[in-house]
Amino acid sequence: MQRAIAEREKVKKDLEVAELTLAQSSKLAALGEMSAAVSHELNQPLAAMKTYLAGARLLLQRKRLDEALSSFQRVDDLIERMGAITRQLKSYARKGGEAFEEVDLRACVSSALAMMEPQLKARVVKISRGMPRQAVMVMADRLRLEQVIINLLRNALDATKDTRDPQIDILLSAGETATLTVRDNGHGISDLENLFEPFYTTKQPGEGVGLGLAISSGIVTDLGGRLTARNGDGGGAVFEMQLPILDPGLGNRQEAAE
């Protein structure tokens, strides 16, 4: 009886140690994922800052002070954005909607394209945009929504790196849902099943950690929508983001007020 009790106590202690080890491993895994997420989301504004600062240096050397000051202002705006991104990532596990507001998806697309401007200028890529004349209003956290669009554009840009005549099509439509489609003529998607899994990537080491689409999918889900992907009929990849749309009349009233 004493031997059985001793063995039971030993098993109980071993189980407690295993539970503590598992909890610690989960914490370390979460910390590693968060660190990778911070690195991923800050990489874009940092790259843009480097481009703007290099341009400002040339402008100062050429005595074009007003244009240089404009570049410095863009850098300042990017610093503000980086601060906002870190605040969002700190509270990433808190799935609250306290930052939600009425957002025009057209403005989010324009902002994302402005953020991607340095990369788009460095590459000869044809950008085609199809935007409705009226506002496409959704209830969302604007910063996180722009993060999603930037990630989709960045993926499309990477996918067309080896394409002879690279092209990215951006189509926004308003119906039962607000739908944003980003299409490229790159190499397409080889593994649709695991595409939105964290740390899944087809890029070379050092070029990406496979968090962009996982984070984007999570954000869109938090906003009550869905993010899907497929291969285009003529090749390339097609990403589609659908979000609940606000009363279509709201956008018309807003434009009338403006």
Model pLDDT for residues 171-192, shown as the tens digit of each residue: 999 999 999 999 999 888 877 6
- Percentage of residues in the chain having pLDDT higher than 70: 72
User: Stretch 118-142: mean pLDDT, rounded?
Assistant: 88
Q: How many domains does the chain have?
A: 2
| Higher pLDDT pick, 224 / 252 | 224
Q: Are residues 223 and 124 in the same domain?
A: yes
The distance from CA 30 to its chain's CA centroid, rounded to whole angstroms, is 19
Q: Are residues 19 and 108 in the same domain?
A: no
What residues pair up with 194 in beta bridges, in sequence order?
Answer: none
Task: Check residue 178 and give its pLDDT.
Answer: 96
* Of the residues 90, 119, 139, the one at which a domain ends: 90
Which CATH number covers residue 230?
3.30.565.10
The total of other beta-carbon atoms located within 10 Å of residue 91's CB is: 11
Task: Check residue 110 and give its pLDDT.
Answer: 92
User: Stretch 245-258: mean pLDDT, rounded?
Assistant: 51
Which residues constitute the domain of residue 37? Answer: 2-90
* Residue 45 confidence (pLDDT) above 90: no
* Of the residues 67, 90, 113, the one at which a domain ends: 90
Q: Are residues 55 and 127 in the same domain?
A: no
Q: Are residues 13 and 86 in the same domain?
A: yes
Burial (Cβ within 10 Å: 0-12, 13-18, ≥19) of residue 258: exposed
* Of the residues 90, 111, 137, the one at which a domain ends: 90
How many helices (H) and strands (E) in the chain?
A: 7, 7
* Residue 56 confidence (pLDDT) above 90: no
pLDDT digits (tens, 9 = 90+) for 152-170: 998 898 888 888 889 999 9
Decide if 95 is inside a domain.
no
List the beta strands (DSSP E) in the chain. 101-104, 126-130, 137-140, 167-174, 177-184, 226-231, 237-244
* Residue 112 confidence (pLDDT) above 70: yes
Task: Check residue 91 and give its pLDDT.
Answer: 46
User: Side chain identity at 7, as an amino acid letter?
Assistant: E
Decide if 177 is inside a domain.
yes
